[in-house]
């Protein structure tokens, strides 16, 4: 049954991007089809080659990758084929763009165009996460049915401890599976 489920895994520019490799592995173990979509910033932290090999699928990186040999509009095709869109790690920037309805890259276009379940796993500095404007964006997305998993208190890239550490990969997968029920 899971083999029919298609997960779009959005990876954004966070130090936690390395966790995407384990997420792909866990989704594949559950026999989901995984299509990875990376922002330009994510590629500074983990390579598309790693995620392509793990997912056994093309990694999508650019709005205009189509070489003209097909009529596919990738952001629409991916959005329509998805059973879930999972953004992990999700930066404050990408979360805020989604909350404002902005679609200026492949990942935000897919998120805006999909009717699939959306699960977001934030990862950022505690000051960014607790910022009042950012929290209003989170509440707005939650009101619109988007599920958040984490963040949790832990070691942060800035050398401090606080809320902003990405949730465990297992918790993210559990939330995706809950969203299917």
Write out the catalytic residue numbers: 158
Residues 179 and 95 sit within 8 Å (Cβ to Cβ): no
Distance CA 94, CA 122 (A): 10
Q: Which residues pair with 165 in a beta bridge?
A: 152
- The span from the CA of 44 to the CA of 75, in Å, is 22
- Kindly state the helix (H) or strand (E) to which residue 84 belongs, with its residue range: strand 84-90
List of residues 6+ apart from 45 with CB closer than 8 A: 13, 14, 15, 17, 18
Residue that the structure tokens 């990942």 belong to: 107
């Amino acid at each position: 049954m899971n083999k029919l489920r298609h997960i779009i895994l959005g990876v954004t520019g966070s130090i936690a991007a390395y966790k995407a490799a384990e997420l792909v592995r866990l989704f594949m173990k559950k026999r989901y089809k995984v299509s990875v979509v990376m922002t330009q910033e994510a590629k500074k932290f983990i390579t598309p080659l790693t995620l392509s090999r793990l997912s056994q699928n093309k990694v999508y990186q650019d709005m205009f990758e189509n070489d003209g040999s097909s009529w596919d509009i990738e952001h629409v095709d991916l959005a329509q084929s998805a059973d879930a869109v999972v953004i992990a790690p999700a930066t404050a920037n990408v979360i805020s763009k989604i909350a404002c309805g902005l679609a200026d890259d492949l990942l935000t276009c897919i998120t805006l165009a999909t009717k699939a379940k959306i699960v977001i796993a934030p990862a950022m500095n505690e000051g960014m996460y607790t910022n009042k404007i950012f929290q209003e964006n989170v509440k707005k997305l939650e009101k619109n049915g988007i599920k958040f998993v984490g963040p949790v208190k832990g070691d942060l890239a800035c050398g401090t401890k606080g809320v902003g550490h990405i949730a465990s990969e297992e918790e993210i997968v559990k939330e995706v599976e809950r969203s299917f029920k």
